[in-house]
Amino acid sequence: MSTDETPPETQPVISLQVIRGQKDAEAAAIANEVRKVLPEDMVVIAAIEAQIIARNQELQARHDVIRTKQAEIAALQDANTLTVIQRTAQHDKFLQYAAIAARKVGIDPDNGEMRWNLDTTTATFTRTK
């Protein structure tokens, strides 16, 4: 390359993962529109910031789920019965997992009353006094 040649124009890379819910072609089109209005360094910064924001939102959603589950467990620990319902049709090890759930909230599945219905995949444990 001689000194009077200019380097080829480089396009900043915008992660297509940042634009969630978009098909690759749609995401690329959006990224190209962004490139037209922002300077190159700002596009990269915007992409990084968008990734950070998306990750923070994902972590916040997970944290909200954990807090909800913790509240549910605290409420269950005061309950006298625990009903476990499996939402899928797979029955493998259902009662084993249901018993683990009962133990987690302080109900002894071996000494208390347990009723189950494998047709509806539900199990109910009653705390012994």
Do 7 and 28 fall into the same domain? yes
How confident is the model over 45-74, as pLDDT tens digits? 666 777 788 888 888 888 888 887 777 776
Q: What is the pLDDT of residue 5?
A: 46
Do 105 and 71 fall into the same domain? no
Q: What is the pLDDT of residue 98?
A: 77
Count the helix, strand and coil residues of the chain and give each as a percent rounded to the nearest 5: 50, 10, 35
Do 11 and 59 fall into the same domain? yes
How confident is the model over 71-108, as pLDDT tens digits? 777 666 666 666 776 665 566 677 777 778 777 777 77
Do 18 and 70 fall into the same domain? yes
Do 65 and 87 fall into the same domain? no
How confident is the model over 26-41, as pLDDT tens digits? 666 777 777 777 776 6
Q: What is the residue range of 35's domain?
A: 1-78
Do 28 and 72 fall into the same domain? yes
Q: What percentage of residues in the chain have a pLDDT greater than 90?
A: 0
Q: What total number of domains does the chain contain?
A: 2
Give the HSE-up count for residue 50: Cα atoms under 13 Å, Cβ half-sphere: 15
pTM of the model: 0.33
Do 73 and 16 fall into the same domain? yes
Phi, psi of 92 (to 5 degrees): -55, 125
Number of helical (H) and strand (E) elements in the chain, helices listed first: 3, 3
Do 30 and 61 fall into the same domain? yes
Do 11 and 37 fall into the same domain? yes
- Of 102 and 113, more confident: 102
Other beta carbons within 10 angstroms of residue 96's beta carbon come to 9
Do 97 and 48 fall into the same domain? no
Query: Which of 61, 78, 95 marks a domain boundary?
Result: 78
